[in-house]
Structure 1
Amino acid sequence: MRKNMTSKKQIKDTFFDLIKIDSVSGEETKVAFYIKRYLKRIGVDASQDKFGNVIARLDGYGEFLALCAHMDTVEPGRGIEPVVKNDIVRSKGETILGADDKASITEILEAVKYLKIKNIKHRPIELIFTCGEEKYFAGSINLNYKKIRSKDVIVLDHSMPPGAIIMKSPFIYNFEIKIKGKSAHAGDVPEKGVNAIKVTGDAISELKIGRINKTTTLNIGEIKGGIGINTVPEEVYIKGEVRAYNQDSALRQIDLVSKAFKKSSRKHKARYYFKSSLKCPGYRHLRTNSLIKEIVLVNKELGINSKFIDNAASDANIFNKKGLNSVVISKGGSNPHSIRESIKITHMQKMISFLVEICT
């Protein structure tokens, strides 16, 4: 069993290179170039599809396995300055760190480098580095699947110590609402107006916002309306989302939202426009899943405790919808999408060991 085969310095150098490259969603060109150049130096050809996703393949023996990480980060993710103390890497505190998901990219690159340098016999491996994951999985939705031969895909995109395996992920529905009232002077003739904010408030008061039950949430995240304090607001725009592990539960909440705004609009004689869309398909795995069983076995061999958890969405949601068998695992790290984000280099080291073992 190969443990800690890559030095901490080597890991840190690659990781720091990556996180110093700004790559907020939609601006992944430079990090894609870095990945392709890195792979070329170790004898692996990589290409990009029309959307910008980076795809590479290593020939081998046996069944194909794909490893996936996303190249984009959230804001504030520009000008990141990493600092390391006592094995823990953080940003200076004004930005995210970008371990989500550049720690995963580092782990994949270093694992592949180790296999190539040591000339270790391995299974056929495909590498997928996606764009726009943080923008509802734009890269995996637009990926050129004709280039992918693997049936199994491991997605490294969960911020926990090594060993976490994601068993299910929710369906996510977005909704947008427009309330059209009638403007009027708020001081002279307010009775001639139809206050769109009032319509919105009455509708929201009819809804349960936040956690609906153990498996379902409803959030209204954006409300925009009004042009001045002396004018009855004519229009309000509302955006929100529903997440549920059961699709029927998600659709029930969407229906409740629609009915609440429709009822309030009728009451106040306003017009109402509503649309919703499935932004992310959910999935559920069983522990008998062949890839999960393989992951658990490798974890056991490396002394990593497997932990089965539920999680938010990732590229795996799209892969599973496309008919692939995709499992998300943790790559180390904590507090993603925040300026408190951090990761231990030893956890990255352990994940490199994991990737080498599962590929051989």
Structure 2
Amino acid sequence: MTNKQQVIDRFTSYITIDTQSDPKSETTPSTKKQWDLANKLVEELKDMGMQDVSIDENAYIMATLPTNVNHEIPTIGFVAHFDTTPDYSGTNVNPQIINDYDGGDIVLNKTENIVLSPDYFEDLKQYKGQTLITTDGTTLLGADDKAGITEIMEAMKYLIDHPEIKHGNIRVGFTPDEEIGRGAHKFDVKKFGAEWAYTMDGSQIGELEYENFNAAGVIVKFKGKSVHPGYAKNKMVNAVLLANEFLSLLPPREVPQHTSEREGFFHFYSIKGDIELTEIEGIIRDHDRNNFEARKQLVNQIADDLKQKYNDDIISIEISDQYYNMREKVEPVFHIVEIAEEAMKQLNIEPIIKPIRGGTDGSQLSYMGLPCPNIFAGGHNFHGRYEYVPVESMQKAIEVIIKIAEITATKYLN
């Protein structure tokens, strides 16, 4: 078992560095402040004895732990991202350490009466008696995915300090801008040189995921005509109402708040504009590729029907695919999932194999030639003030990384 305080110290040193990404930026990384943690990680990798440590002009970090056996073993990799979501503040993160959690309410912020309660967040109940790291109620925590970075770093240090544990070449990769969907965009798979990898970017202990949503983004613009409302009959075209009509024609129950597991959805999250021009933005998600294509077709059909009802110039629609279900690329090399599953079982962790209701760097990397299932990092309630992570889950994730390396070395012994 790795040293608990060492894990806490490393994790808190990362989360107190603001690395929020920005979807409106066109640079990589999308924010300059991501360099602060990126440069720190590079120095730490060098100091612990990792080889071939590099950081490119876009802040993609790679490093190698060289093999310590004589027989040939496939090079494997572990990947995590160092940015945090733009959805919630990551500035001045002030973590709270809850030792020997008693199973009750945790007051995050007494002044603002912000409480993390197992009555609402039932997963808390399974961590009674453990050490939790929470927010102070004013920011997110950053366990997504600085827990993953901590775990990879601690696992590499442990393997360096314990050469009796046999392993092949291990590549480490840390990426910017995952939270805005660009984490893999400039990842050099050839340079990384691994046969397969694992993202350490899941949630609760035991999660092992090799399928995710097919994803597309949607932007719909509505053009109207503004006329004095007192004299608007048969003249005004209200773009706000057109947008509302468009949204009303979508299946009302096929939205995030009414779907789970492999059920897909339409999610329009932004509307802005006025009578003359209104724009809505959304996403389309589905695990099944045929259903995914049908959802895109439905959105286009609604737009076409409204064009016929009014006129062709009144609506413009743009649908862009973002990523696809990694299952298609992972299933042909399913032994990489089985190795991770076996690692968990040997550590008395019950594998929770389920589809991701989202995407990771791994989903894009899998289509770039690097099959990349996702493993738990331990955190809960990502992207908000109620985020927390049990330290014991992080320790188990570190052990899983080590065990995967060990099993891989053994598997290819003969």
Q: TM-score, normalised by structure 1?
A: 0.92
Mapped partners of 2:300, 2:234: distance in 1: 26
Residue 267 (structure 2) aligned to one of 219, 242, 253: 219
Is 1:23 aligned to residue 19 of structure 2? Answer: yes
Mapped partners of 2:171, 2:252: distance in 1: 42
Matches within 5 A, 1:1-360: 4=1, 6-25=2-21, 26-27=30-31, 28-45=34-51, 46-60=53-67, 61=69, 62-74=73-85, 75-86=88-99, 87-120=131-164, 121-136=166-181, 138-161=182-205, 163-211=206-254, 214-226=262-274, 233-269=275-311, 271-284=314-327, 285-286=330-331, 289-311=334-356, 312-360=358-406
Question: Over residues 90-109 of structure 1, what are the superposed CA-to-partner deviations in whole Å (9 max), with x where a residue is unaligned?
Answer: 01111111011001111111
Q: CA deviation at 1:203?
A: 2.0
Question: 1 or 2, which has the higher strand percentage?
Answer: 1
Mapped partners of 2:78, 2:365: distance in 1: 12
The answer on whether the counterparts of 2:189 and 2:370 sit within 8 Å (CA) in structure 1 is no
SS of the equivalent of 2:58 reads coil
SS of the equivalent of 1:183 reads coil
Question: Over residues 318-358 of structure 1, what are the superposed CA-to-partner deviations in whole Å (9 max), with x where a residue is unaligned?
Answer: 11111222110111121111111101111111111121222
Mapped partners of 1:112, 1:288: distance in 2: 25
Shifted more, 118-127 versus 273-282: the winner is 118-127
The answer on whether the counterparts of 1:66 and 1:154 sit within 8 Å (CA) in structure 2 is yes
Aligned-residue sequence identity (percent) comes to 28
* Count of aligned positions: 348
Mapped partners of 1:196, 1:265: distance in 2: 13
Q: CA deviation at 1:208?
A: 0.9
Mapped partners of 2:345, 2:244: distance in 1: 53
The answer on whether the counterparts of 1:65 and 1:125 sit within 8 Å (CA) in structure 2 is yes
Question: Over residues 1-41 of structure 1, what are the superposed CA-to-partner deviations in whole Å (9 max), with x where a residue is unaligned?
Answer: xxx1x211111110010001111113310111111111111
Mapped partners of 2:198, 2:307: distance in 1: 47
Question: Over residues 45-97 of structure 1, what are the superposed CA-to-partner deviations in whole Å (9 max), with x where a residue is unaligned?
Answer: 42112321111112114221100011100131111011101210001111111
Mapped partners of 2:59, 2:354: distance in 1: 31
- Gap regions ≥5 residues in structure 1: 227-232
Mapped partners of 2:175, 2:207: distance in 1: 21
Aligned letter for 1:222? S
Mapped partners of 2:169, 2:75: distance in 1: 5
Q: TM-score, normalised by structure 2?
A: 0.80
The answer on whether the counterparts of 2:189 and 2:369 sit within 8 Å (CA) in structure 1 is no
Mapped partners of 1:143, 1:357: distance in 2: 26
Extract structure 1 runs of 4+ deviating beyond 4 A.
Answer: 285-288
Shifted more, 36-45 versus 311-320: the winner is 36-45
The answer on whether the counterparts of 1:209 and 1:218 sit within 8 Å (CA) in structure 2 is no
- Gap regions ≥5 residues in structure 2: 22-29, 100-130, 407-414
Cα–Cα, structure 1 residues 224 and 217, in superposed 2: closer, same or farther, change >3 Å?
same
Query: Paired residue for 1:230?
Result: none
